[in-house]
């Protein structure tokens, strides 16, 4: 569903490989707080959340 929405909006969806890298970076940093600029369809945020600590907070901002 998110990939379809990305195509509708003309956005490039986050690939599974890129998502895995985001998850790994968040986990390696033991991230408790992450800020994302450019929410898009939210897929990258989900990957980040999966790598963050259970009590972590993701703040995402999109101009639209």
| pTM of the complete model | 0.84
What's the rounded Cα separation, in Å, for the pair 52 and 35? Answer: 12
- Digit-coded pLDDT (tens) for 22-54: 999 999 999 999 999 988 888 999 999 999 999
Domain residues for 14?
A: 2-61
What's the rounded Cα separation, in Å, for the pair 57 and 27? Answer: 13
Q: How many domains does the chain have?
A: 1
Can you spell out the DSSP letters for 4-62?
HHHHHHTPPPPPHHHHHHHHHHHHHTT-SEEEEE--TTSHHHHHHHHHS-TT-EEEEE-
pLDDT category at 6 given cuts 50, 70, 90 is: confident
- Does residue 59 contact residue 34 with C-beta atoms inside 8 Å? yes
């Amino acid at each position: 569903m998110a990939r379809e929405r990305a195509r509708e909006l003309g956005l490039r969806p986050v690939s599974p490989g890129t998502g895995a890298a985001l998850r790994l970076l968040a986990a390696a940093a033991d991230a408790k707080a992450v800020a994302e600029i450019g929410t898009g369809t939210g897929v990258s945020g989900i990957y980040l959340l999966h790598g963050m600590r259970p009590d972590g907070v993701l703040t995402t901002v999109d101009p639209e």
